[in-house]
Structure 1
């Protein structure tokens, strides 16, 4: 009888294929990067550009649209996986998880950037400073909705591990 090959050392074993949820620390770092970037963008635009850019209504509306799409996708995924007990095709599950992760990072980066841009206009005497600040705050809210929708989609993609018990 042939003996099975010896078990490889623990540090050489292949990964089990599990993913951890998006960490709050990573989201915090990206939010702070966005905050500093938004603040610095105002200073850069005043010095190097003819005028600081306006935040149009299209930007926050686009963020709210992405958030709505994420929430609808999360709801459909939750119903499929958790209520009906069906499995997603592997490529569908990976695509939704990648979408969720990317949108969570980009959403929190947008929150920070728009919030930094809005805060940089507070107390500024420029003609459209108040408009820039208000629209930036609304866009930051849209980015927060994208982040929440992405985290909800990520949660909907989770499947129960058989070792977790009933």
Structure 2
């Protein structure tokens, strides 16, 4: 008689939404708190969105390579590599949702502030960074899904 095997479930949409909401509130509060403490809010430069783009490309490339080797060519990953990629995918999905929410909240906090000359710039760059945070989240989910393999005994996906 074989002992029951635990299965790891894919990350839930609820968890990603929760992290996104926390980021949204945090990003909105950052504007208010920074202005009250320092007298000025942080500036979003092009470096932040470019760094997020780089991370999204790396995680997306890893997801593609993993999917191609595991699903396409039916190769087996070494167990420690599979776990590393699974953990990387989950972490990137959660952090990507947090980043997307944070930048979206920061962008929303600047809407309607026509008196500040940098408001439009902050909204645009924060919105772009939020979209790139979502792309990191999506790439992380794809990487996690790429690590799934069929169980030899039952044919189930694990």
Q: What is the TM-score when the length of structure 2 is the normalising length?
A: 0.92
Matches within 5 A, 1:120-135: 120-124=109-113, 125-135=115-125
Please state if 1:151 is matched with 2:136.
no
Displacement of 1:26 after TM fit? Answer: 0.4
Q: RMSD of the alignment, in Å?
A: 1.9
Matches within 5 A, 1:55-66: 55-66=44-55
Displacement of 1:50 after TM fit? Answer: 3.1
2:126 corresponds in structure 1 to: 136
Distance 1:144 1:64 in 2: 10
Unaligned runs of 5+ in 2: none
Unaligned runs of 5+ in 1: 8-12
Displacement of 1:165 after TM fit? Answer: 6.1
Counterparts in 2 of 1:52 and 1:160: CA distance versus 1, 3 Å: same
Distance 1:16 1:113 in 2: 38
Displacement of 1:47 after TM fit? Answer: 0.5
Deviation by residue 1:35-79 (Cα, 9 ceiling, x = unmatched)? 000000110011011311101111111111111111111111111
Q: Which of the pair has more CA radius of gyration? A: 1
2:93 corresponds in structure 1 to: 104
2:69 corresponds in structure 1 to: 80
Residue in structure 2 matching 1:67, options 48, 56, 71: 56
Displacement of 1:164 after TM fit? Answer: 3.5
Distance 1:17 1:94 in 2: 15
